[in-house]
Amino acid sequence: MAGLLHSLSKGLQQTAHLMVGMPDYDNYLRHMAEKHPELPVMSREAFFRERQQARYGGGKGSPVRCC
């Protein structure tokens, strides 16, 4: 029962994060381990920053966008 509740909680958390545009770091880690094990993995903070810049721009030489 506890495992089911944990899975449900994790799924709801992931759904909420995706609804507000926050990428899933756990999926990123899983993807990197399966598809690119030879590459270094970003920290949670670096991953979030990179995803925010990819979504909204604002990097050096990039226009800032809101949508």
pLDDT tens digits, 7-54? 888 888 878 777 766 678 888 999 999 999 999 999 999 998 888 888
In a domain, 40, yes or no: yes
- Helical pair 44-56 and 25-35, crossing angle rounded to 10 deg: 100
Q: List Cα–Cα distances, 41 to 19, 53, 63, 64, in angstroms.
A: 24, 18, 27, 27
In a domain, 66, yes or no: yes
In a domain, 3, yes or no: no
Quote the pTM value.
0.60
Contact 58, 64 (CB under 8 A): yes
The number of folded domains in the chain is: 1
Domain that holds residue 56: 23-67
In a domain, 27, yes or no: yes
In a domain, 5, yes or no: no
In a domain, 54, yes or no: yes
